[in-house]
């Protein structure tokens, strides 16, 4: 049997964007805008390197957050933020503040996520690893 696993992974400096309110983190001027932009830039670079095309099948989302033991954030908020930013943004954006980054999509819809993994690791400087993988259910 041939391995046909499709996955993309990448590192991002800083902490992940957090989804903490009903206001979209994709909105212009949102307090998470810098984190959103960093995630989109890293995802774009990884997608271009690997030839990634957005998935429409079930996916697994893995996030590893590295940094000091005391940081502001929680697993559910980080996971929701990462998932929101990496899914298709069409129809959810107001304005053009993201420019070409608005087209960065690793999967079509958050409802495709069927497996989630999250863990934290100690490090002096905050960063995180994201992995999106096509899975069978």
Q: What is the pLDDT of residue 92?
A: 65
Q: What is the pLDDT of residue 98?
A: 77
What is the rounded distance in angstroms from the CA atom of residue 33 to the CA atom of residue 78? 14
Low-confidence ranges of the chain (pLDDT < 70): 1-5, 91-96
Q: What is the pLDDT of residue 1?
A: 36
Q: What is the pLDDT of residue 5?
A: 56
* Predicted structure pTM score: 0.89
Query: All domains of the chain, ordered by start, with CATH?
Result: 7-134 (3.30.1330.70)
Q: How many CB atoms lie within 10 A of CB 10?
A: 20
Q: What six digits make up the tokens of 101?
A: 């980054």
Q: What is the pLDDT of residue 2?
A: 40
Smallest Cα–Cα separation from 14: which of 127, 130, 118, 125?
Answer: 127
Give CA separation, 94 vs 23, 24, 25, 30, 86, in Å.
12, 10, 11, 12, 17
Q: What is the pLDDT of residue 3?
A: 40
């Amino acid at each position: 049997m041939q391995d046909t696993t499709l996955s993309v992974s990448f590192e991002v400096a800083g902490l992940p964007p957090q989804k903490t309110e009903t206001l979209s983190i994709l909105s212009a001027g949102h307090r998470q805008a810098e984190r959103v932009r960093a995630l989109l830039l890293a995802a774009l670079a990884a997608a271009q390197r690997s030839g990634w095309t957005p998935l429409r099948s079930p996916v697994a989302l893995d996030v590893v957050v590295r940094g000091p033991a005391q940081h502001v954030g929680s697993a559910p908020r980080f996971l929701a933020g990462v998932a929101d930013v990496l899914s298709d943004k069409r129809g959810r954006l107001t304005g053009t503040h993201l420019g070409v980054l608005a087209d960065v999509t690793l999967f079509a819809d958050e409802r495709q996520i069927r497996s989630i993994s999250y863990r934290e690791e100690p490090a002096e400087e905050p960063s995180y690893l994201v992995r999106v993988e096509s899975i069978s259910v």
